[in-house]
Amino acid sequence: MTNVKLLQKDAITLDRFWDIANDLFHSDRQIDELRDGCTEDKVNSLLVNYLTLVCEHCDQLTTPDTEEQFYNDISEYVTCHRYYRSNMQFCVRKMLSLLTYSVGCNESNLGLESDMLDNVTREQVNESITVNEKLIRIIGWILIVNYQSDKDALLQILKDFNGFETLAGVLSNYSRISRNSNDKDPYIANYSPYFELFYELCKNYEFDSTELDHVHSQLLEYLFESLEVVPKENNILNFMKFRLLLVLNEQFMVSQFSSTADSSYQIENRFFIKMTEDSQRFQNFNEVLILNFNREQDHVIQILMLKVLYLVFTTSHTCGKFYINDLKLIIDIMIRELFNLSTVREEALINTYLRVLYPMILFSSIKEEGYKRESISEVLRYLVAAEQTSETTKRLAERCLVLDYFSDRYGSPLITRNPAPYILSRENSSQSSVVSEIDSPDSPTAPIDRSRSNSSVSSQDSKGLHRKRPPPPPPRRYNQRNGSELMLSRTKVANK
C-alpha cells in the first residue's frame, strides 16, 4: 500500500484535503488491496497515512472559529469508517503507541539545555515539539469522538492496553510543556479530550499501586497551581482539572485501603500530599471545592468532593485549617441536602454526607461554634425517625447525635443510648466506614498499616470510652460502572 502524497503547504484547500482523504480510503487500488482481507498491516498503513495527512495540513485548514468543527469532522470520518470499526482495538492500540512515542520525544526535547544548542538544532527541536503536539491533539480528538459513539468498548480497550499509563504520560507532557510556555496554559484546549478520558477511565475502573505510580507529582502540582476559583459554567476546562484531581484522590484512597499488608508495593496518597504541603495551594483548592460543593448536582462529583472533605477532617494537620465561614457554609449545604435527598433513591449519598459530618463535628473548629446545632439535630432526628430510612442511615445519624456537640454545653444528649458499633467484614468490603466513634484524626497520606487498621486495639478518651478510627467511605466493588448509580455502588456496599 503506497503512502499518501502530501501537497505543498500553499496548494491545499479544504475540498482538496477531503479529496485526498477519500482517495486514501476509497480509491480502486485501496479497495482491491483490502478486498482480500483487511490485515493489521493494511489498517496500520491507512491510519498512519491519514494521521500524517491531517497533521501536515491542519494549521492551513483551520482558524480559531473553525478548528473545533474541523477536528470533529476528521475524527468522525475515520472512526465511522468500516476498517476502523472492524479493527477498533488495533487502531486504539496504535494511537496509544504513537502517543507514548510523541510524549517520549517531547520529554527528551524539553530536557535539553536550549542555551547549549546551535540555531539549527534549536529549530529542529522546536519543530519536533510542534509536530508532536499536533499529533497529540489529533489523536485526542479521534479518541474522544470514538468514546462518544462507543463509550464502554473504548474504555475497556484503554483499561486492557495500558491506557491509564499512556493518558497519565500525556497529561504529564501537558504539565511540562505548559510550564515551559510564557503564556498561561496555552495548550489546555489540545488536552481537554485527555482530561475527559482520564477522568472517565478512573471513574469506571480501579487501578493498583503500580499503575497509580505513573501519576507523577509534577502533574499534580501543575493541576493544583493552575486551578482557578471560577464557576464551572465560566471555565469548563478548569472544572475538568478539578474533577480529575477529585477522582485521582479516590483512586489513591481505594488503592491504600484495598492493599494488603504483604503487598509488594503500597503507594502514598500523592494527591493529598501535594494539596497539603503548601498552605496557599490547600486554601485555593478548597475554595474551588466549596464553590462546586454548593452548586454541583452530579452525585458522582458530590461523593468525590465528600471524600476529600473526609480526609481533611480526619487528618490531624488539616482538620483545623478550614476558615470558620467555610465550615458554616459546608454545614448549611449538608443540612439542605440531607433534608432534600430521598432516603430510598439517594441513600448512598446521604450516608456519605453523614460519614463526613461526624469527623467534621468532632475535629474541626465548628465544634466550638455550636453553629446550627438545632438544625443539624433536627435533620439527624428526621433521618432516624423516617419510616423508609435504612438501618445503616439510622445508625450513622445516631452516631452523630451522641457527640458532645449536642450535649455538653446545651443539656442532655439528644440520643441517650450509644449506637452499637457496626463493622463490615472484609468479605463484603475492603473497609467499612460505619464504625462507632473516633479517638483522634490520623494521616491518610502514608500507605496503610493493615495489621494496625484491622486490629482490635482502641484508644480511650477522657470518659474512658474505647473509640476506633474510621476508615473512609468504602471503596467501590465493581471493576466497571455505568453512570452515577454504579459510581455509588462502592458506598452501597456498606448498606448490606
344 Ramachandran zone, left/alpha/beta (phi>0; psi -120 to 50): alpha
Percent over 70 (pLDDT), the chain: 75
**The pLDDT value given to residue 408:** 52
Backbone angles phi, psi at 460, to 5 degrees: -115, 140
State mean pLDDT over 150-161.
97
Distance between the two ends of the chain, CA-based, in angstroms?
Answer: 59
State mean pLDDT over 359-369.
91
State mean pLDDT over 348-352.
95
**The pLDDT value given to residue 266:** 80
Sign of CA dihedral 269, 272, 275, 279: negative
Backbone angles phi, psi at 464, to 5 degrees: 80, 10
Tens digit of each residue's pLDDT (9 = 90 or more) over 319-331: 989 999 999 999 9
State yes or no: pLDDT of 32 exceeds 80: no
C-alpha cell at 132: 508532536
Least confident window among 29-33, 63-67, 426-430, 456-460 = 426-430
* Confidence bin at 37 (pLDDT 50/70/90): low
Q: What is the 3 state secondary structure string of 197-212?
A: HHHHHHHHCCCCHHHH
State mean pLDDT over 270-279.
95
Q: Could you give the CA distance from residue 179 to residue 171 in angstroms, rounded to a whole number?
A: 12
**The pLDDT value given to residue 109:** 87
State mean pLDDT over 88-99.
97
**The pLDDT value given to residue 390:** 93
Tens digit of each residue's pLDDT (9 = 90 or more) over 41-50: 889 999 999 9
For the chain, what is the mean pLDDT? 81
List alpha helices for 341-459, DSSP H. Answer: 347-363, 373-385, 391-401, 450-453
| 294 Cα distance to chain centroid | 19
* Confidence bin at 491 (pLDDT 50/70/90): very low
Q: Partners of 460 in the beta sheet?
A: 466
State yes or no: pLDDT of 425 exceeds 80: no
Q: Could you give the CA distance from residue 56 to residue 285 in angstroms, rounded to a whole number?
A: 40
List alpha helices for 80-118, DSSP H. Answer: 82-86, 88-110
Q: Partners of 466 in the beta sheet?
A: 460
Residue 197 CB-density burial (10 A; 0-12 exposed, 13-18 middle, 19+ buried) = buried
State yes or no: pLDDT of 71 exceeds 70: yes
CA distances from 214 to 192, 207, 287 (A): 19, 11, 28
**The pLDDT value given to residue 167:** 98
Of 458, 456, 463, 488, the closest CA to residue 474 belongs to 488
- Residue 407 vs residue 67, higher pLDDT: 67
For 141, what's the count of Cα atoms within 13 Å in the CB-facing half-sphere? 23
**Are the C-beta atoms of residues 358 and 400 closer than 8 Å to each other?**
yes
**The pLDDT value given to residue 263:** 60
State mean pLDDT over 372-377.
93
- Residue 426 vs residue 211, higher pLDDT: 211
Percent over 90 (pLDDT), the chain: 62
- State whether residue 282 is helix, strand or coil: helix
**The pLDDT value given to residue 185:** 65
Tens digit of each residue's pLDDT (9 = 90 or more) over 442-465: 644 544 443 333 333 333 333 333
Which residues have CB under 8 Å from 468's CB, separation 6+? Answer: 421, 435, 436, 437, 438, 439, 458
**The pLDDT value given to residue 178:** 83
Length of the chain: 496
Burial 343-356 (b: 16+ CB within 10 A, else e): beebbbbbbbbbbb
**The pLDDT value given to residue 380:** 96
- State whether residue 202 is helix, strand or coil: helix
CA distances from 301 to 241, 273, 296 (A): 13, 21, 7
Tens digit of each residue's pLDDT (9 = 90 or more) over 393-406: 999 999 999 998 88
Q: Could you give the CA distance from residue 175 to residue 243 in angstroms, rounded to a whole number?
A: 17
Least confident window among 97-111, 174-188, 339-353 = 174-188
Tens digit of each residue's pLDDT (9 = 90 or more) over 6-17: 445 557 899 999
**The pLDDT value given to residue 440:** 55
Give the count of beta carbons closer than 10 Å to the beta carbon of residue 3: 11
State yes or no: pLDDT of 191 exceeds 90: yes
State yes or no: pLDDT of 478 exceeds 90: no
* Confidence bin at 112 (pLDDT 50/70/90): confident
Least confident window among 114-118, 185-189, 448-452 = 448-452
Which residues have CB under 8 Å from 3's CB, separation 6+? Answer: 45, 49, 52
**The pLDDT value given to residue 117:** 84
State yes or no: pLDDT of 238 exceeds 80: yes
**The pLDDT value given to residue 17:** 95
C-alpha cell at 412: 442532655
3-state helix, strand, coil in the chain (%, to 5): 65, 0, 35
**The pLDDT value given to residue 420:** 36
**The pLDDT value given to residue 422:** 31
**Are the C-beta atoms of residues 352 and 491 closer than 8 Å to each other?**
yes
Q: Could you give the CA distance from residue 306 to residue 289 in angstroms, rounded to a whole number?
A: 10
**The pLDDT value given to residue 441:** 61
Q: Could you give the CA distance from residue 321 to residue 325 in angstroms, rounded to a whole number?
A: 12
Least confident window among 51-55, 280-284, 416-420 = 416-420
Q: Could you give the CA distance from residue 245 to residue 202 in angstroms, rounded to a whole number?
A: 11
